[in-house]
Structure formats: structure tokens, C-alpha cells
Structure 1
Amino acid sequence: MARSPDFRLALVGAGRMGRHHLRALADNPAAAITHVVDPVPAARAAVATTGLPVYPSVPDLLAETTPDGLLVTTPTSQHGALVAIAAKAGLPVLCEKPAGLTAAEAQEAGRVAAEAGIAFQVAYWRRFVPSLQRLRDRIAAGAMGDVLFVAALQWDGEPPAAGFRTGSGGIFVDMGVHEFDQIQWLTGERVDRVATQHARHVTDPAVSGHDVDSAQALLGLSGGGTALVALGRHHRGGDMAAVEVFGTRDHERLTFLDPADGDATMHAALARQAEDFVELVRSGRSTGAGVADAVAVLDAAYQATAGVTLSKGVKPVR
């Protein structure tokens, strides 16, 4: 007979990212998904084939059982409300990035969690990729010298559905937050200046005015160096992500998400991240992202998004 997992997570949101977490944590003895919540009947029916119990809402779940924590992978606009429900129930939360559409929303989610005394972690999974951890250690040890320039690239195999894109906050909030967090986490520096450009091509007219297919942000870093975030929705080979660091002593380039490897790197990192979340709940120790990190990232992402929308003649809404 299989042993029960040490920590039982309820997955809230069975969309694309939720399914990645399901695969990554399948049969994980330390932190496993044991229940699923999704308001969409078709999504619940798809998950039911795994044998996991499914519920239409978190209150429905809590009326029957109490998991050890919630793993929130719903659309970003729902993150704050779900953190509030979890806080009322005293449940720790591992929340998919970015934990809000704005810095203010992320700050409020963190405040609610702190007042309730629950653990709250933001799921920036790249912090759990070994090659990136080694690069961060090299930078911190001074092996790279002063960081002069960081280039961070992320290109998706294909755009997500228009319905998602129109409510996602745009390419910098949806995709680019990974790069903003990664740059600040790797270097130990903050973004203090942002300038942007974007491609004028939008292949799906339904998202025109809400999103673009490619955009770049040139950043100034608090330590004196600069960085580039380059994002795109069309990479025929599949999802890819890479980072390159130029320092006064050394240089390193990593393609840590390679289409040739499929989702293996991300799934391994998602499993390590869940195990780190368990450590946060039990001991208060974590190497993951917290509220301050999420707020700093969204502040930078908002500045980049404002540059894109203003260049299109549309006033951004804070």
C-alpha cells in the first residue's frame, strides 16, 4: 500500500499551469496534490480521470476535508480573493506568480496572509533550477566580478488563448515577471530604471490593445549595470528560456529551458519548490520568493507595461 504524502496540497486551478504542477508532483512523497478545485465542469471532468477528488470551489473542498495547504494556479485576477479565503481557513498558500496584477495587489495578499499568520510563498520556479542556483552563487562569491550586463530571454512555443491574454496584464506581467525576478535574484540588485520597445505585429486581433506578441525592456540595475528582458510569443521549436551574464571577470550563458528537453527542467524545479514550501510551513525557512520579491517584480513589470501601452497611445491603468 502506498504511503500517504507528508504534506497534502489542494490544487486550485486546473488550467495549463495547474496541469504542469499535477505532473510535477505526481507521487511525490514529501508534497503531493491530493485534491483539485476548479469552477469549470470540463476542467473538473478532465482531472477526475486521475482519480483525485475534485470540487467546484474552495468552500466546497473545506466542507469535506482540510488539506495542509493550497497551491493556487488560477488566473492572476483571482489570486487575492483566494489568499483571503485561505487566510480565513488558516491554510498556507503557495501562489503561482505574480500573486496579483499590480504591486498593490501582491502587497495586499501578503498583508492578509501575514495578519492571519499563514505561510505565503510566490511560485517563481526558476529559483529552484540547479544551474541557475550555481550561477547565482558564482555572482555572489564575486567570481563574475562586477555585473555589467544580464540578458534574459523567454520565448513561448505559441501564444496562449485570447481569453487569457486579455486579462493577464500583458506580456510583461504574464511572462516577463519571471525575467524580472530572475535578474534581481541572480544579481542581488534591484531594477531602478526601465525603458521598453515592442513589435507592432499582433497575430491575434482579439488581443489588440491588451497584449503584444514580442517586447523588450532595457533595465538599469541598482549596482550600476544594465539588463535586457526579451520576450516573445512565437518560438517554433517550443518554449525556451536563457540567461547570459557579462561581468568584469567572467561571462556565462545558460539555456536552462530547452525545447529539446520538453518540460523536464520545469517539472523538476516545481517539485523542489513544493518541497521548499513545506519547509517554509514547518520551519519558517525558505529559499523561494516572498511578498517583497513579488512587489518589486510587479513594480518593474508595471513600468515596462506602461511603456508599451503609452507607445500605443493608450493610457495605462494602475
Structure 2
Amino acid sequence: MNREEFDRAAQEYRVLNIIVRRDGETVFRADYDDEIRRNQYSVTKSFTSAAVGIAQKEGLLSLDERLTDAFRDDLPAHVSENLRQATVRDLLTMCLGQDRGFLMGEQRPFLPETDWVKYSLALPFVHAPGTVFQYNNVGPYLAGVLVQRRAGCTLDRYLTPRLFAPLGIIAPTWETDPMGYSFGAGGLFLCVSELLRFGELLLAGGKWNGRQLIPADYIAEASSKQVENGGEGYGYLFWRGAHNTYRADGKYGQYAIVLPDDNAVIAVNAECRPQHLLLDFLMREKALLLGLH
């Protein structure tokens, strides 16, 4: 496929903006629409993961904390054995133990509950934590709340001096819950260039302009396969992919794809349905995107 053919196909997949950086240089860029801040959907989860890694380094939390300790004032009257066994780590792997997705985008506007923490913990924990992969917004939401409570501020304020400002991301919009917490599972608005810089930070092991923003050992752990998911595996709110890649992945094709073997990052904003068709297309055309033809 040549560039003209790629552009036609990309527009059929409803790609809006795409930037590829390899070896620190921009090797591909296409803007099929204006570059503006857009809802990154579940890419937000990976920023929440970064916040957890930073908070752990600062001593604010531990991945081994049990949820019954971390949320002791929010527990239901009856605490099941599965809930008793769940830890902060289980919030990050989609293996929390609930049997379907809750706090999903089509559910949130219609929830009568305003305390989503108590609501989330009162839901049935059907499976033993760590045993069944079930995509679910409850885990990243609670992980984000825990960081906010321990830090005493919202996620956007917490990440501003630690991540956003160093990356040149100024005052991003972030969805909040009814109690004012940043919603750690979705609703962060960024433009594709800002998403690209996050991907480059991950590729660099969390270091930016000589400053370690996210602990390198946390990124290595978070981007590694932690659990089976029927595909390439899942880390701590990061998806594993083909060609030893991992990615922040948002609905309709919002991607920050990190390619360590190629020292490259692919950042995309799109409106593709179903989004996996776009991901498959990008991986098929990896050589073109990386300038390897």
C-alpha cells in the first residue's frame, strides 16, 4: 500500500489524526480533520495507571493493599469473601471479580446513585479476584479515587505538576463523578499531539527531559502481560498487542501504541466502529507508518 492508498483507507476507517514518531523524529503525520481536544475514552485508564505508579512511589498507596482497608468506610453491610481478598492490584488488571461491566459510558448518565464508590463496592464480586478477565470501569474508577483521597486533590490536579505540565499538557478537561472525583476510567480530553507525548514518555521508560516522571520499574510492570485476556494479554490498564507492542486504548480508535522493538510510538484519534478494524489496519501497515518501506 502506498501513501495515497493509505490515506483513502484511513478515511474509510474514520481516522481523524495520526502521528508516528520513531527514533525521536516524526516519520508520518496525517490530519484528516482539525487537531482538537477529543474525548480519549478508555485511554484515560492508562493515565490513571500512571497516577497509581507515581502515588505508589510517593508512598501514598500499595498495590498489595486490600480494598477492605483502602475503602473501609465505603463497604457494604455484607462483605463477601471475594471482596475481602481483592487488592489495589486487582483494580488495574480487569480481574476484579465482578461478572460484567459497570459504570460504563451508556450507564453513567442514568445511575440514580450519587456515591459511586459505595455503589461499586456493593456490586456482586462473583469471581475470586485475579481469576477472570472482565472489562469493567469499576477497577480504574476506584483506583483513581484512591489516589485522589490519598493525595487530597483530583487526578487532574495531582497529575498537573507530575505529568501534564512537564509534557506541555495545559489544563485538560476530565469527566467527574457526582461527588467531584475525576473519573479514572474515561472522559479525559486531549489532542493527538498530547497523546503522542504520553506515548513517548512511556517509550522512554517514564523519563522526560532528564526527569523521571513515572517510575521506570512501574512502567515495565504495567506494560507487561499480567493476566490472560483471550488475546495478547493485559497489564495494569494497558493492552498488550502484536509485535511486542502495548497501548493505551480508547473507544472508537483512540490509541497511543508503543512499539519498543522499533523505538516508535503511533498516536491516533478516530471515530471507527468497530475499533479493532482500525487497530488491525494500523498493524498491517506498520512498515509504511514507520517509514520502513
TM-score of the superposed pair, with normalisation by structure 1: 0.27
Greater relative contact order, per chain length (Cα 8 Å cut-off, separation 6+):
2
TM-score of the superposed pair, with normalisation by structure 2: 0.29
Greater fraction strand: 1
